[in-house]
Chain A
């Protein structure tokens, strides 16, 4: 742990899916204002890691601590979200039948998100300004009144990023943000994420190594539910064990293709 302390601290976390250990005695720490990229082959436990932090999956052992001393184990998803952990899913999940504006409006951080508070709440000026500026950030200002279901794939991804941003999370969990994006969209997304890391901590799961090189400062490699190695991109890429698990898979795939 650094002197400032960590934003998220996982110790000895094990997740068991009917005997399959998706995470095994995992230790994982992210500092304040850090942009961390998590890579690893399929089934390494990357998405499960985000599931544990956001409360979707309950570990059978271990500790998950948010900020100074908030224990996340046992909290429900919406409670964790309210604490300041935002999550962007791999496939864009937006509200297709609401307008882009309404999508953002519902996501905005509010003092209460209970049924009755929401029933009588009225939009106020500060909120409208926040939504408008987020629309600029994600480049959808022109489409505020459009049905979200009518957006392109890349636009939906950005809309969801915008929705998560309006929750004003201290920690942002992002699962494969550039899957299915064009090169230009990928680059813009990279710039967007880097600018966001100035004020908050971000954990990104990514497959696209070029994208990883563009945004990453520190990379964590997961393999079979535990951390294989951790460090700057160049160091990690040169690590023989990382080469082994990636190339090993590649060799198997080649062999399978040759058969």
Chain B
């Protein structure tokens, strides 16, 4: 039994979900296919592909919001889970290049360059597409389970958890950067040609990947909505508010944290898997400390503790990034930092909070109503 404000919100969110879904899934691809390239309604292949990347980030942001926005645990290492998913699919794509590679060898180019003679054993299963896709989800899931089990069992929390996850991001970056790890080193995995026989350079393939991303985002959103509206979701918020009370009410907060950390790791892996074929490259620079921090900023900007806010933040910040980096490439870090400070100081409940307050203010013009309290504190 939620409050009246919550019920109204849930109805509004349901409507917004289907409207956005229709827009993303039907209208956008149609605008890509139907109008001629000169029409102002036309969505270019480039724009659609870029948007697909943003939406993949949206999946990751949903998971990050579950653990940070709802449960109050700040993870600065989600780039690692994203990277595991991305590299798993990237390895499969490397192997499907075959003799189309620069050196014409069956081995990936970087291995020829590094004088590796035979394919390392852990690469072999990635010949299978389905193995790679399963690994893209299961590897980060398993890794989150082990890492989460060890940290939450030791009751590591708050700033200590944030520091440990940041250290994790740093060490993952170091490991993936090394040439002798045989994962492409600094240059990462790139130059992909095809997936399941479809050319990645073909707009039709990219359109399909875009649609897959939208469907995955929708499914991820429904999963997160189911969790947050269940009693388990309430326990997550309760952990954020008073972990001690949760513990003395007979719940084991560690198990709940582990659950939400694993779900969020799996979603980050899914995001990475969808990112790689659309962007065409994955390097250690995309999974280290800085990208992991940026992911947190997406959620903060959109509005933590609201699912829609996480997606809005991921798409919005990355959109701003692609506009700004094309005109002022050097200014982006300053802009990002400034944005984060502005959000923390001025709108701690993010864009969604701002929208809700504007809505309440608008309604208040007609009749005096109380402004709903922001949800996402702590």
Contacts and interface: CB of A to CB of B under 8 A. Distances in A.
B374 to A, nearest CB: 9
Interface string A110-125: 1001110011110100
Given A97-B241, A97-B375, A145-B4, A102 B234 contact: yes
A167 B250 contact: yes
B3 A77 contact: no
A95 B237 contact: yes
A120 B3 contact: no
A105 B231 contact: yes
A230 B4 CA distance: 51
A211 interface: no
Contacts of B234: 98, 102, 105-106
Contacts of B237: 95, 97-98
Contacts of A145: 1-4
Given A93-B242, A93-B245, A94-B242, A118 B231 contact: yes
A15 interface: no
Interface stretch (A4-12, A146-154, A234-242): A146-154
Contacts, number: 102
Interface stretch (A24-32, A81-89, A221-229): A81-89
Secondary structure type dominating chain B contacts: helix
Nearest to A121: B231
A86 B245 CA distance: 10
| Chain A: number of interface residues, binned into ranges | 35 or more
A95 B252 contact: no
A77 B247 contact: yes
B21 to A, nearest CB: 24
A118 B245 contact: no
A119 B230 contact: yes
A79 B378 CA distance: 27
Contacts of A42: none
Given A93-B242, A114-B255, A146-B3, A54 B231 contact: no
Given A76-B252, A121-B231, A147 B247 contact: no
A90 to B, nearest CB: 11
B115 interface: no
Contacts of A113: 249-252
Interface residues of B, number: 31
B325 interface: no
A76 B153 CA distance: 12
Nearest to B374: A97
Which of B240, B249, B255, B256 is the most central at the interface, judged by chain A CB atoms within 10 Å of its CB? B249
B235 interface: yes
B311 to A, nearest CB: 21
Contact of A101 (B1, B242, B250): B1
A77 to B, nearest CB: 5
Given A78-B248, A94-B242, A106-B238, A149 B373 contact: yes
B232 interface: yes
A82 B252 CA distance: 11
B377 interface: yes
A102 B231 CA distance: 9
A115 B377 contact: no
A111 to B, nearest CB: 11
B1 A106 contact: no
Which of B230, B234, B240, B256 is the most central at the interface, judged by chain A CB atoms within 10 Å of its CB? B234
A59 to B, nearest CB: 18
Given A102-B2, A146-B3, A97 B377 contact: yes
Interface string B222-238: 00000100111011011
Contacts of A147: 3, 373
A120 B248 contact: no
A217 B222 CA distance: 56
B244 interface: yes
B259 interface: yes
B260 to A, nearest CB: 9
A94 B241 CA distance: 7
Given A115-B259, A120-B230, A78 B245 contact: no
A78 B251 contact: yes
Which of B1, B250, B252, B375 is the most central at the interface, judged by chain A CB atoms within 10 Å of its CB? B250
A82 B250 contact: yes
Contacts of A86: 248
Nearest to A100: B3
Pairs of residues from A and B, 7 with the lowest C-beta to C-beta distance, nearest first: A81-B250, A95-B241, A145-B3, A119-B232, A95-B238, A82-B250, A93-B242
26 contacts: A76-B252, A77-B247, A77-B248, A78-B248, A81-B247, A86-B248, A89-B244, A93-B242, A93-B244, A93-B245, A94-B242, A94-B245, A95-B237, A95-B242, A97-B240, A97-B241, A102-B1, A105-B231, A106-B238, A118-B251, A119-B232, A120-B230, A121-B230, A144-B1, A145-B3, A167-B250
Interface of B: 1-4, 227, 230-232, 234-235, 237-238, 240-242, 244-252, 255-256, 259, 373, 375, 377-378
